[in-house]
Amino acid sequence: MIPVMSNSGSGNQGICATMPVVVFAEENHNTEEELIRALTLSNLAAIYMKQSLGSLSALCGCVVASTGSSCGITLLMGGGYDEVCWAVKNMIANLTGMICDGAKPSCALKLTTGVGTAVLSAMLAIQHKHVTSVEGIIDDDVDQSIRNLTAIGSRGMDVTDRYVLDIMTHKK
């Protein structure tokens, strides 16, 4: 047993909000200060989103944790406020609706999906490519985009949560 970094009460979310940022910084020779700033941004962004989502949701927690990672990675790529906001919008447009089924192996797969999407979203944001308010649940305001995501996760997926639980408890 080794300890892991937790975020919002979850080790997997902590790993997802932390390790991709650390690996990216090491691979790209960012300074220690740049890494600390990126890790702070990643974890705070994840916490900011999670606090509106609630403690239990059918929305997979890696969606918010990997969105945090995308913020940190965007910062490490030299992005500023606009690019970080665009990365968040790219992530929300891409991963909203990923369900949590509480299973550890599938959770690891979802983390991998989230991290891959985090890097892609950061790369697109650095190139000023992002999903706009013309599409889906994305709004011009990044905070409203986050509220749209968390509303889907906290209220919109209530029925999904019941179906997942029903499937899990009625397996033969």
Coil vs helix vs strand at 10? strand
Which amino acid is located at 23 in the chain?
V
The pLDDT tens digits of the residues spanning 146-165 come to 999 999 998 888 888 888 88
What pLDDT sits at residue 17?
96
The pLDDT tens digits of the residues spanning 113-131 come to 999 999 999 999 999 999 9
Q: Give the list of residues 6+ apart from residue 116 with CB closer than 8 angstroms, or none.
A: none
How sure is the predictor about 75, in pLDDT bands with cuts at 50, 70 and 90? very high
Per DSSP, 79 falls in state: -
The pLDDT tens digits of the residues spanning 86-113 come to 999 999 999 998 998 876 788 889 999 9
Residues 137/148, Cβ–Cβ less than 8 Å: yes
Residues 63/13, Cβ–Cβ less than 8 Å: no
Mean pLDDT of 61-77: 96
Rg (CA), the chain: 16
Backbone angles phi, psi at 99, to 5 degrees: -90, 155
Q: Is the pLDDT of residue 9 over 90?
A: no
How sure is the predictor about 2, in pLDDT bands with cuts at 50, 70 and 90? low
Residues 68/46, Cβ–Cβ less than 8 Å: yes
Percentage above 90 pLDDT, the chain: 70
What pLDDT sits at residue 107?
86
What pLDDT sits at residue 1?
66
The pLDDT tens digits of the residues spanning 31-58 come to 999 999 999 999 999 999 999 887 677 8
